[in-house]
Amino acid sequence: MSIQVFGLPVSRGVAIGRAVLVASSRVDVAHYFVPASQTRREIDRLRRARDAVAAELSALQRDLPTEAPPELSALLDVHLMLLHDDALAEAIMHWILERHYNAEWALSAQLEVVARQFDEMEDEYLRGRKADMEQVTERLLRALARDGMPSLSSVAQPARDFAGEDPLVLVANDIAPADMLQFKRSVFTGFVTDVGGKTSHTAIVARSMDIPAVVGAREASRLIRQDDWVVIDGDSGVVVVNPSPIVLEEYRFRQRQSELERARLNRLRHTPALTLDGENVELLANIELPSDAQAAVDAGAVGVGLFRTEFLFMNRGGVLPSEEEQFEAYRSVVQTMAGLPVTIRTVDIGADKPLERMSPQELRHEHSLNPALGLRAIRWSLAEPAMFRQQIRAILRASAYGKIKLLLPMVVHLREIRQTMELIKRARQQLLDKGHSIGDVEVGAMIEVPAAVMMLPAFFRHFDFVSIGTNDLIQYTLAIDRADEQVAHLYDPWHPAVLKLIADTIACAQQYGKGVSVCGEMAGDPAFTELLLGMGLRSFSMHPAQIAGIKQRVLRADTRKLQSAVEHTLQADDPQNFWAAACDRVEDTVEIALPY
């Protein structure tokens, strides 16, 4: 039976494939593919975990006090029986051998299948055995964690061969940033999550992967089953499960049309971004890993406007990268960009991106309080001065190989600026004393909270440029958790207060002769291109996949006509509708001749 699930569209296009479910668990589960040569090792890990849990349960049963109720011993018998169930073991091995899942993923995937079977049973007693299965699975997962996990670098090699002939789409309650990095170059052609908002981390990475995605789909992971055929409509936020042949063919037609449009836009990648009235616009790329730099070059970016370095710190089992390792990563990006500028943001840890090295108490703090208002970004870096000094030294050393700008996240207080500038000064002197070459590094600040906008005149006494992080700026201005689908409808980039803060930042930077760019999601959203141009913005930073579409809008824009429309839009109660009407009045339709 075909059903539809509705969520929030966060990455455009259509994906069609068989569902791969990532089941949620009270125990953290690593999800990665293993090459065929290492599937037997995963099966051996699973057997060792089973034997360890069996030994634990047998010891518990042997040591039961004489006054213990007989039901307790019977319960342990049930758990031991589940552990040694041959059919269950074969099903788990199927996921490893056929789908190339790691042991933890295979175990949680089969739990999802079995749990659904229990839910559909009519007998209340049998339905209750689902809890026994969950408890046994969690014991196995803990045993696997104790046994140790092979390094991701040795096993995480997703390949088209793992998926067989059918394309795959990922379905999950949520996807952690660490898992998103793992899936970034995987076989998945799209994904769906139960939770999340349009600017949640999951959504941002989906756009950087340039694959269709729907988040905040509530019951998706419960309604969709393993291997169901799924259509993800990233334009409208609709997920179609087991579509009819007619619906499937319609979406396949849309896929082909989308591919043709992408190919057409791709021909613009080497065309200079000049408006109709001759204004040069800088289109930069946001990247997360050194390997992303080549995609920026291929997309025609004129530099990297945001290198999110926190992803260098993830998927490492809590071990921070050394100064040397960071230096090599930054130098690699600079050399790939071949003389084009690279803006490196210092680590933005906290909120939805905690580190594995955080203690259980710190992680509980992250999730039980409001992490967006806690120890994150520059606050976290200043609280870890040894780590921060290492990162600054690595960035300064890499500046000898090309143009680097250093960007500080979530700066609010002048004392934070003074502390950071002192750290940079000391790091520079340490490197010079050791004979290292250092380039001329500009230092800038992310504008992410309203207080930073109000402090701009003071900021510009210390900083060479600013970059507007619209995702957090909207979140903090409107008091909206941008990852919470329950309030996602209130997250509004068109809110008059948000637009005024952005316009004020651009105007203040121009007044002081400082550089200003937008690196948040608004920069890559075509709905805002002309508005930002009319505000005076000339530097946009976005995911490489978005550059061609934004360039097309730039080439068709006349900033002289847009300025007066922007002034009136900023005074309107409903800026979005006013802007649309104003553009209809003042803009001529201009078709540019694309190079064929």
Query: Which residue ranges are tagged as binding site?
Result: 308, 345, 448, 471-472, 482
CB 190 within 8 A of CB 215: no
Q: Which of 519, 543, 568, 583 is catalytic?
A: 519
Let me know if 317 is exposed, middle or buried by CB neighbors in 10 A (0-12, 13-18, 19+): exposed
Interacting residues of 333 by C-beta distance below 8 A, sequence separation 6+: 287, 290, 293, 304, 307, 342, 344, 398
* DSSP states of 115-160: HHHHHT-S-HHHHHTHHHHHHHHHHHHHHHHHH----HHHH----G
> Which residue is catalytic, options 31, 201, 508, 543?
201
- Do residues 406 and 424 lie in contact, with contact meaning Cβ atoms separated by under 8 Å? yes
* 583 noted as active-site residue: no
DSSP annotation of 190: E
CA angle 275, 276, 281 (to 5 degrees): 10
Q: Which residues pair with 22 in a beta bridge?
A: 172
Calpha distance 186→168 (Å, rounded)? 10
Which of 537, 533, 534, 531 minimizes the C-alpha distance to 517?
537
Bridge partners, residue 233, by sequence: 14, 238
C-alpha–C-alpha distance, residues 158 and 168, integer Å: 12
Would you say 34 and 155 are in contact if contact means Cβ atoms under 8 Å apart? yes
Separation between Cα atoms, residue 396 and residue 394, nearest integer Å: 6
Phi/psi of residue 265, nearest 5 degrees: -65, -30
Are the beta carbons of 576 and 494 closer than 8 angstroms?
yes
Active site residue 519: yes
Q: Specify binding-site residues for Mg(2+).
A: 448, 472
Determine the distance from the C-alpha atom of residue 522 to the mean position of all C-alpha atoms in its chain, rounded to a whole number. 16
Indicate the helix (H) or strand (E) that contains 111.
helix 103-119
Sign, Cα dihedral of 167, 173, 174, 176: negative
Distance CA 529, CA 538 (A): 10
Positions at the binding site for phosphoenolpyruvate: 308, 345, 471-472, 482
Which residues are identified as catalytic? 201, 519
